[in-house]
């Protein structure tokens, strides 16, 4: 059974800092790896999707990498801003590209 | 574009009552799913559907029923609510691996 773990559970940084969020998964036979953002009381917004054949994806200040052999993905946020404060969830596509197994998330606070 | 719409946003039920959480999408996606999100547990898959007339169980299906009569709608039914079903429920539709989520329904069972 696929299990997804995110470390740390919470992170507080000063504005402008570069930071890395970590995600690990137990079964390397994944279809894809997605990173989502969730604001309080809101739904999930997809940030980056990495297919199993890819190593990384970039969108603006965000860069996500995937290493299937080690069972790890990282989300790098450059020059963090207070507006980046949210919970970040990673999810592995397992048992089909649409069936997602989620980690518990990392709650990020960026202080002005 | 509306995307994925869930109703209601909030609901309080008494133990034993039944209700249906509604989910509609206007993107013509074949795949739809329901998740529940609990503190410290992350999101867990309840049921999913790969197209009209086809549904299957996810990780935590007990106490929930689904049906998919149209591509657009995927309602989640609680037949006899229990306090353990207090949670935030999210509906999602997918285009291949890219998932689009609704805003969620916060359900409290007392």
Q: What is the pLDDT of residues A11-46, one digit of tens each?
A: 999 999 999 999 999 998 999 999 999 999 889 999
Out of B42, B90, B96, whose CB is closest to A43?
B90
Strand ranges in B3-63 using DSSP code E only, listed in sequence order: 4-7, 10-13, 19-25, 31-38, 42-51, 54-57
Q: Which residues of B touch A100 (CB under 8 A)?
A: 33, 43, 45, 99
Per-residue model confidence (pLDDT) at position B45: 94
Partners of residue A12 on adjacent β-strands: A109
**For residue B41, what pLDDT is reported?**
83
Tell me the Ramachandran region of residue B69: left when phi exceeds 0, alpha when psi lies from -120 to 50, beta otherwise.
alpha
Residue A3 has pLDDT above 70, yes or no: yes
User: Can you give the pLDDT at residue B1?
Assistant: 62
| CB-closest option in B45, B99, B103 to A46 | B99
| Cβ pair B99:A100 closer than 8 A | yes
User: B83 phi and psi, to 5 degrees?
Assistant: -55, -30
Smallest Cβ–Cβ distance between B103 and the set A42, A101, A102 belongs to: A42
For residue B40, what pLDDT band results from cuts at 50, 70 and 90? confident
């Amino acid at each position: 059974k696929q299990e997804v773990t995110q470390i740390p559970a919470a992170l507080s940084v000063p504005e402008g800092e570069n930071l890395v969020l970590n995600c690990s998964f137990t079964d390397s036979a994944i279809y894809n790896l997605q990173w989502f953002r969730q604001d309080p009381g809101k739904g999930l917004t997809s940030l980056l999707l990495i297919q199993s054949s890819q190593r990384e994806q970039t969108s603006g200040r965000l860069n996500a990498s995937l290493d299937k052999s080690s069972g790890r993905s990282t989300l790098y946020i450059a020059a963090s801003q207070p507006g980046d404060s949210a919970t970040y969830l990673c999810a592995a596509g397992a048992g089909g590209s649409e069936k997602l197994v989620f980690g518990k998330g990392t709650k990020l606070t960026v202080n002005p | 574009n509306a995307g994925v719409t869930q109703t209601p946003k909030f609901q309080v039920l008494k133990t034993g009552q039944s209700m249906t959480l509604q989910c509609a999408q206007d993107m013509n996606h074949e795949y739809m799913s329901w998740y529940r999100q609990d503190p410290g547990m992350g999101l867990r898959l309840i049921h999913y559907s790969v197209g009209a007339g086809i549904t299957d169980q996810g990780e935590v299906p007990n106490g929930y029923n689904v049906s998919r009569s149209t591509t657009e709608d995927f309602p989640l039914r609680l037949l006899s609510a229990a306090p353990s079903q207090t949670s935030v429920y999210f509906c999602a539709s997918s285009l291949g691996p890219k998932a689009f989520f609704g805003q969620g329904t916060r359900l409290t069972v007392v």
